[in-house]
Amino acid sequence: MAFSSVRIVLVCSLALTTQITCTSPGTFSIDYKNDCFLKDGESFRYISGSIHYSRIPQIYWKDRLLKMYMAGLNAIQTYIPWNYHEPVPDQYDFSGDRDLGNFLHLAQEVGLLVILRPGPYICAEWDMGGLPAWLLKKKDIVLRTSDTDYIAAVDKWMGKLLPMIKPFLYQNGGPIITVQVENEYGSYFACDYNYLRHLTQLFRSHLGPEVVLFTTDGAGLGYLRCGALQGLYATVDFGPGGNVSASFAAQRYVEPHGPLVNSEFYTGWLDHWGERHSTVSSAIVAKSLNEILAVGANVNLYMFIGGTNFGYWNGANSPYAPQPTSYDYDAPLSEAGDLTDKYFSIRDVIRMYNKIPEGPLPPSTPKYAYASVKMTKLQTVSEAVDVLSHSGPVKSTFPLSFSEMDQYFGFILYRTKLPVDCSKPVPLSSPLNGVHDRAYVSINGVASGILERDKSITINITGTAGSQVDILVENMGRVNYGKGINDFKGLVSNLTLGSEVLRNWLVYSLSVDEAVSKGLLRAGASQVPSSQLSTPAFYTGSFSIPSGIPQLPQDTYIQFPDWGKGQLWINGFNLGRYWPSRGPQLTLYVPVHVLSTSAPNNVTVLELEGAPCSQGACTVEFTCTPVLNAMGTDGRPLFNKEDLS
Ligand SMILES: *[C@@H]1O[C@H](CO)[C@@H](O)[C@H](O)[C@H]1NC(C)=O
Ligand SMILES: *[C@@H]1O[C@H](CO)[C@@H](O)[C@H](O)[C@H]1NC(C)=O
Ligand SMILES: *[C@@H]1O[C@H](CO)[C@@H](O)[C@H](O)[C@H]1NC(C)=O
Ligand SMILES: *[C@@H]1O[C@H](CO)[C@@H](O)[C@H](O)[C@H]1NC(C)=O
């Protein structure tokens, strides 16, 4: 190893000799004199890894935490996504995969401390950076500022959350050593110190005077200017390959004394649909990690395991670029929790500073390629609209957005009639780029094109006056970073036909997940022999776990040969979006707990563009190997990390 002879010089002096250990069950604070943390009266530094419980099924939490512990980490860092726990105002969900208390208990049981990041904004490549989309009911709300309606909602949420957190603080016998306030606030345009001051008081009032509160910002004075605030310990984040001392110099500028902390040391990077899969070499990660540890700094590896954006939870960047279902991140533990070469490289670096726990390493989980599943067509969305939409349509002269319909995720159907004959092709346009985010257009049940935000704002259509125009609009995930987080969905501006604004809409709120899990979808009308593009439709198939193999069921991956784009459920569990024609992700991760051994497993697909079923059998296929790095057939230019910084 290139760095095996490095001398370990801790900036933080480890003189503990005659200190009397504290009397209380636990203390955790900042030692400004010795530039380090102080845990139970002793110098302490953490080597932590990020794990987002919201991206991992609860059954696997312990396995992943144990693998993190066995890598030599002494802490984990996790975000709390507000919108995951308060899907509609005043309805809180902390059960099952959302059981935060259970997650914190498990971390402690495994032997890991916790660095908690409760937001309210978290970024995290998560829908709207974790903020609930119902905040957008106030159309001109200024998120992440002193806006009174925003603050009222934050106060209420934190009034629920923080008292739940309090018993888990280290001072109270729990694993939580530090709590972050907001997230990279210095990167946001608003620079509202009153907002940060308000959050500080709010956190203090619920959590008490002792807990270490901190902020995280990019390692540059430009970020720290608006992100740091007295009373909140300022930390920085930066990736591998850069100048570690220059990055920490930025932190030292605002915190002349106290521990050095890199709160997000990037082990990999995020992906977008249509861009190349991001990878970062283990060697570069190991080299920079060693430099960070050598100066005695605290570090959190972001991500240690990325996991999966199940359902509709992915976020997006601007110009509009949604992130795919996998949040593998090229992290040391794969999306499925498997050990990678990077895991062992990182462990080898940590080993030079800390003792690695003894004992067997939990192995990667086995995968099984079940038989391929023959899919048959059910109703189209248009045919099933009565089943999908409980309350029936809302009549409106002009289109209504998702928040105006009180629906926040998934799909909405907009229906109107052609006001005039279009015997020659006439442009159907969204002149203000108001299709958020993708619209599947059909005339009298025949697909006629796709509009896409920032990519395609006009298509030509034909049809006779009075023909039914159905436009299914997909919310592909809200922007999670920057000014664009007020990301309204649906048709957020008018559509025009030629020069005329289309009017007199029926707007259908759709409960697709409910219809799928209750098995309400029926066989459709006979298949319209179609060209390449077909109208959005459901497909179903089933498969059984082979009997006589005692190790089954196991995790698996599913792929969609020659399918277009859509959403996948198995036994009603929404596994996320697939889009092999755009890539780079071809397979979706299927964790074992969604599978059943006692009944046939039901696979349901909502295919938005066209299934390969006109050529006879169409199948989805299971495989043991994930494919996250393929380019789709309409692949876009290669992705540069520098583009995002
Ligand atoms: C790294 O930054 C430090 C402090 O800003 C500077 O003194 C040093 O020359 C830099 N090292 C390299 C290799 O650029
Ligand atoms: C629509 O049709 C017109 C006339 O045929 C053509 O010039 C134009 O390029 C078409 N637009 C699109 C978006 O296909
Ligand atoms: C649609 O157009 C009408 C008439 O021009 C206008 O009053 C309305 O505000 C527009 N709606 C949106 C969402 O842009
Ligand atoms: C799949 O659907 C069938 C028919 O509705 C049902 O009998 C079966 O229990 C379902 N399987 C699972 C695992 O829910």
Closest protein CA for atom 11 of ligand 1:
243
What is the structure's pLDDT at 528? 56
Whether pLDDT at 641 is above 80: no
Which ligand is nearest the CA of 596, by number? 4
Whether pLDDT at 16 is above 80: no
What is the structure's pLDDT at 614? 72
Integer angstrom CA distances of residue 631 from 82, 331, 583 = 33, 20, 5
397 lines ligand 3 (CB under 6 A): no
- Ligand 4 centre from 569 Cα, in Å? 13
DSSP structure string for 59-96: GGHHHHHHHHHHTT-SEEEEE--HHHH-SBTTB---SG
Q: Are 267 and 342 in contact (CB under 8 A)?
A: yes
Whether pLDDT at 239 is above 70: yes
Neighbours of 615 (CB within 10 A): 8
Integer angstrom CA distances of residue 454 from 435, 532, 570 = 9, 23, 32
- Ligand 1 centre from 270 Cα, in Å? 28
How far apart are the C-alpha atoms of 11 and 287, rounded to whole Å? 19
pLDDT 10s digits, 118-157: 999 999 999 999 999 999 999 999 999 999 999 999 999 9
Cβ-in-10-Å burial (0-12, 13-18, 19+) of 273 comes to buried
What is the structure's pLDDT at 631? 72
Task: Return the H-helix or E-strand segment holding 619.
Answer: strand 618-623
How far apart are the C-alpha atoms of 503 and 244, rounded to whole Å? 58
Tell which residue, 235, 154, 168, 252, has the closest CA to residue 196.
154
- Ligand 4 centre from 600 Cα, in Å? 6
What is the structure's pLDDT at 527? 60
602 lines ligand 4 (CB under 6 A): yes
Lowest pLDDT segment from 201-215, 372-386, 523-537: 523-537
Average pLDDT over residues 363-374: 96
- Ligand 1 centre from 295 Cα, in Å? 14
425 lines ligand 2 (CB under 6 A): yes
What is the structure's pLDDT at 302? 98
What is the structure's pLDDT at 644? 36
DSSP structure string for 197-263: HHHHHHHHHHH-SSSEEEEEEESSHHHHHHH--TTSEEEEE--TTS-HHHHHHHHHHH-SSS--EEE
- Ligand 3 site-directed mutation target among 501, 502, 505, most atoms within 8 Å of CB: 501
Whether pLDDT at 17 is above 60: no
pLDDT 10s digits, 299-351: 999 999 999 999 999 999 999 999 999 999 999 999 999 999 999 999 999 99
Lowest pLDDT segment from 180-194, 397-411, 514-528, 584-598: 514-528
- At residue 83, what is the residue type? N
Catalytic residue, chosen from 86, 125, 182, 184, is 184
Closest protein CA for atom 1 of ligand 2:
460
66 lines ligand 2 (CB under 6 A): no
Whether pLDDT at 643 is above 60: no
**Would you call 125 a catalytic residue per the annotation?**
no
pLDDT 10s digits, 415-424: 999 999 999 9
How far apart are the C-alpha atoms of 108 and 176, rounded to whole Å? 9
518 lines ligand 4 (CB under 6 A): no
Tell which residue, 132, 215, 230, has the closest CA to residue 181.
215
Catalytic residue, chosen from 125, 255, 264, 291, is 264
Q: What is the mean pLDDT of the chain?
A: 93
Q: Give residue 389's Cα distance to chain centre.
A: 27
222 lines ligand 4 (CB under 6 A): no
Whether pLDDT at 70 is above 50: yes
Report which of residues 261 and 15 the model is more confident about. 261
pLDDT 10s digits, 494-545: 999 999 999 999 999 999 999 999 999 999 876 655 557 899 999 999 999 9
Q: 617: which 2 tokens?
A: 């059998």
- Ligand 4 centre from 602 Cα, in Å? 6
How far apart are the C-alpha atoms of 24 and 571, rounded to whole Å? 50
Which ligand is nearest the CA of 448, by number? 2
What is the structure's pLDDT at 531? 57
- Ligand 2 centre from 563 Cα, in Å? 27
Task: Indicate the pTM of the whole model.
Answer: 0.94
Average pLDDT over residues 179-192: 97
What is the structure's pLDDT at 532? 77
What is the structure's pLDDT at 628? 97
**Would you call 474 a catalytic residue per the annotation?**
no
